[in-house]
Amino acid sequence: MHGIKRILEDINGRNPLKEEIDVPALKKAWANAKGKKQKDNIIIKFNIPGAFSKNRGGEIKLGHQYDLQTNPKKKLIVHDDEGNLFYLTGKPMKLIKFEETSIEGEEISEGFDLLPGHVINNELYVASRELQEFTNRMRAGNDFKKKDLQKIIRDLQGVVKSARTFSKPEDVPVSYQYKK
Last residue of a domain, one of 80, 100, 120: 100
Residue 15 clears pLDDT 60, i.e. is over it:
no
Last residue of a domain, one of 68, 100, 132: 100
Q: Are residues 122 and 65 in the same domain?
A: no
Q: Is residue 166 part of a domain?
A: yes
Q: Is residue 1 part of a domain?
A: no
- Summarize pLDDT for 70-82 with one digit per residue, the tens: 877 777 888 887 8
The DSSP string of the chain is: -HHHHHHHHHHTT--TTTSPP-HHHHHHHHHH--SHHHHHHHHHHTTPPBSB-TTTTTPBPHHHHHHHHH-TT-EEEEE-TTS-EEEEETTTTEEEEGGGB-TTSSSB---EEE--HHHIIIIIHHHHHHHHHHHHHHHTTPPP-HHHHHHHHHHHHHHHHT-EEESSGGG--GGGS---
Domains in the chain, number: 2
Q: Are residues 26 and 95 in the same domain?
A: yes
The confidence score (pLDDT) of residue 148 equals 92
The confidence score (pLDDT) of residue 31 equals 82
Q: Is residue 16 part of a domain?
A: no
Q: Are residues 121 and 157 in the same domain?
A: yes
- Summarize pLDDT for 87-111 with one digit per residue, the tens: 888 777 777 777 755 444 444 444 5
Range of the domain at 133: 112-176
Q: Are residues 31 and 62 in the same domain?
A: yes
Q: Are residues 67 and 27 in the same domain?
A: yes
Q: The pTM is what?
A: 0.45
Better-predicted residue by pLDDT, 173 or 152: 152
Find residue 52's DSSP bridge partners.
60
Mean pLDDT across 112-133 = 90
- Summarize pLDDT for 23-39 with one digit per residue, the tens: 788 888 888 888 888 88
Q: Are residues 123 and 95 in the same domain?
A: no
Neighbours of 74 (CB within 10 A): 15
Residue 10 clears pLDDT 70, i.e. is over it:
no
Q: Are residues 95 and 29 in the same domain?
A: yes
